[in-house]
Structure 1
Amino acid sequence: MSGASLRAALASRVVVADGAMGTMLQAQDPTLDDFQQLEGCNEILNVTRPDIVRSVHRAYFEAGVDCVETNTFGANHAALAEYEVAERVLELSEAGARIARETADEFTAADGRMRWVLGSMGPGTKLPTLGHAPYTTLRDAYQRNAEGLLAGGADALLVETTQDLLQTKSAVLGARRALHALGADVPLIVSVTVETTGTMLLGSEIGAALTALEPLGIDMIGLNCATGPAEMSEHLRYLARHSRVPLSCMPNAGLPVLGKEGAHYPLTAPELADAQENFVHEYGLSLIGGCCG
């Protein structure tokens, strides 16, 4: 792990992360056996097909990114419980982080340029505010998620795509417990998801998110998923004016458009890059990347 060098980079320049993971994995057409009969549980591939997961990380590093996210978006209690494998949170988290760590180190060894691993901690499918799952159950599972990511070599913990502030808090506090338990010191980043309605899924505005999360000792706050960059601008403007911690942004490639062959994301790579460049200049972002599409 190199949390210190990542902190230094985030403080001195714009760090570039990767983009979509799920579509890249599915494009390689993993079999039902690869999923151990748990179709769609991408985290299983960390154990059964590390070659596929490694190829996605490698493709992003070859494109020039500074860091990749681990294939652990669903390595939490809520998501894995739906496949009846909730006890595998730690195993799948560590395996995902280790694949990303090895790939990052391989590229760093080749040219001497630092590459980093962001440990992805996704939202799961349960909203504790609505009583879908007990807060303490989620928090304790997020601690195992974070402990696995740290053991596998993650340089930062990224609590991402959060839609319920109580779920976000469970992930942040689980992550902090893991950092304390392992004596680790890496950046803790939180990325919330604001819908096209202008609020998070349960109605919280970006100001409420900042007020709730900043006192928890996070190192960075930002936005990802749900919308393209155009819809994120106003919320980033608020964060730029009021946040005391650095900012991140990982938008989708626009809002999905339904066509004859299903949904597709309309923004081209240059268009997404231009939007992110504008955000860097306008709002002083420290970490940028992409999400869906």
Structure 2
Amino acid sequence: MTAAQSDRSARETRNKQLLEALQSRILVLDGAAGTMIQAEKLDEAAYRGERFADWDCDVQGNNDLLNLTRPDVISRMHKAYLEAGSDIIETNTFSSTTIAQADYQMEEIAVEMNREGARLAREAADEFSTGDKPRFVAGAMGPTNRAGSLSPDVNNPGARNIDFDGLHKAYAEEVRALIEGGVDLLLLETITDTINAKAAVFAMEDVFEEVGFRVPLMISVMIPDQSGRTLSGQTPEGFWNSVRHARPLTIGVNCSLGPDLMRPYVAEFARIADTFVCAYPNAGLPNAFGEYDETPESMRTHLEEWADSGLINVLGGCCGTTPAHIRAFVEAVTGKAPREVPQLETTMRLSGLEAFKMAG
């Protein structure tokens, strides 16, 4: 058996294990990467390392660069979440597109960031995997810092600083590198603009055709406030109708809100989606000091209720959450049945800012 055949066989085995796990229990995603990295209190020199000691601009805060300069920090983070009980860990690649890395003049190493980020997570997941509890790696893909349908200029609504082709190219490079690094899933997360998400999905399809196999997709949108709409204006159902053609393994919501304010949107996805639902809230809304006040115990109460109400298949934590939060979430859902995926009637479902369903 060639190396490529062995990799394909291992990937197929993990895909089967993942589906079996989703059908039997609630899976737990990891928590915040940024929160863990900030706790390390790394300075500019630590971010640069030897390789980038003479870089032309400041790089402190470019957390994805740590995949290359401080892999020990990233591996330690992954292992902390795995020790807490996470079934799925995310790669440290939220901003590893050429678009986002342009802020640091590091477009040329974005692919390497993805590949190394995936490799570090894969090594950690494999170390902790057992026959009874396999661990999985999700390739984290953020929304980029540019929007395909929103103007960066309040005085010019038609202005754009990125187009669909540019988004497609950047996402395709990221997807290809994450797959090469060994991810089990692709997690398109914190979506603010549906055009960006559709460009990412299009890029995935192109890469899947290129490599000859598909990788399961998780899609997670951000609802920034209690208006109940995405940043680009869609309701949860309108967004779902926009991306359901991608046949995601999971659909859901993350970031921006704590578990109390996020619950209505989790419930909405649980009602409308004929696939698994994933949600991972912040540890509340930031306080006056930019910190998060929800404790593991307070969040556990909310997430346990989600599980008891049959709303969830995968849950985890976003900004402000730590391994202590994840450990509490694991305890909260252990032994609880996962949400049953509904069988929905076949009908025409369209989307604008809101959903349209044709009456039968």
TM-score, normalization: structure 1? 0.94
Return the match for 2:264 from 206, 228, 234.
Answer: 234
Question: Which residue of the partner structure matches residue 293 of structure 2?
Answer: 266
Q: CA deviation at 1:272?
A: 1.3
The whole-number CA distance in structure 1 between the counterparts of 2:229 and 2:266 is 13
CA deviation after TM superposition for structure 1 residue 213, in Å: 0.7
Q: Does 1:291 align with 2:311?
A: no
Name the counterpart of 1:5.
Answer: 17
Q: Does 1:160 align with 2:189?
A: yes
Structure 2 runs not aligned, ≥5 long: 1-10, 49-57, 151-159, 321-360
Contact kept, 8 Å, 1:224 with 1:251, in 2: the verdict is yes
Would the aligned equivalents of 1:122 and 1:162 in 2 still touch at CA under 8 Å? yes
Q: Does 1:190 align with 2:219?
A: yes
- Normalised by the length of structure 2, the TM-score is 0.77
> 1:176 deviation in Å?
2.6
Deviation larger for 80-89 or 137-146: 80-89
What percent of counterpart residues are identical? 36
Q: Which amino acid aligns with 1:255?
A: L
Q: Name the CA distance, whole Å, in 2 between partners of 1:120 and 1:7.
A: 19
Equivalents in 2 of 1:30, 1:177: separation in Å?
38
Q: Is contact 2:87-2:136 (8 Å) kept?
A: yes
1:254 paired with 2:266, answer no
For residues 74-113 of structure 1, the aligned pairs below 5 Å read: 74-108=95-129, 113=133
Structure 1 segments unaligned to the other structure (5+ residues) = none
Q: Which has the larger radius of gyration?
A: 2
Letter in 1 for 2:243: L
Separation of aligned partners in 2, 1:139 and 1:165: 13
Moved over 4 A (4+): none
Equivalent residue number for residue 62 of structure 1 = 83
Deviations 1:183-212 (A, max 9, x none): 233310100000113211121111110110
**Equivalence for 1:139:** 168
Give the Cα–Cα distance (whole angstroms) in 2 for the partners of residues 120 and 38 of structure 1.
20
Q: How many residues align?
A: 289
Relative to structure 1, is the Cα distance of residues 71 and 100 closer, same or farther in structure 2, using a 3 angstrom cutoff?
same
Amino acid at match of 1:285: I
Matching residue within 301, 308, 321 for 1:281: 308
2:46 to 21, 34, 43: 34
Q: What is the alpha-carbon distance in structure 2 between the residues aligned to residue 256 and residue 49 of structure 1?
A: 28
Is 1:222 aligned to residue 252 of structure 2? Answer: yes
Q: Give the Cα–Cα distance (whole angstroms) in 1 for the partners of residues 317 and 205 of structure 2.
A: 26
2:240 matches 1:210: yes
| CA-CA distance at 1:42 after TM superposition | 0.8
Bigger mean CA deviation after superposition, 94-103 or 192-201? 192-201
- 1:92-134 Cα offsets, whole Å, 9 max, x none, are 101001001001111126x863111111001111011022211
Deviation digits for residues 113-166 of structure 1 (CA, Å, limit 9, x no counterpart): 311111100111101102221111111211111111111111100000001000
**Aligned residue runs from structure 1 range 124-135, under 5 A:** 124-130=144-150, 131-135=160-164
Q: Which moved more, 1:83-92 or 1:27-36?
A: 27-36
What root-mean-square deviation, in Å, do the aligned CA atoms of Structure 1 and Structure 2 show?
1.6
Bigger shift: residues 175-184 or 49-58: 175-184
Q: Which residue of 1 aligns with 2:55?
A: none
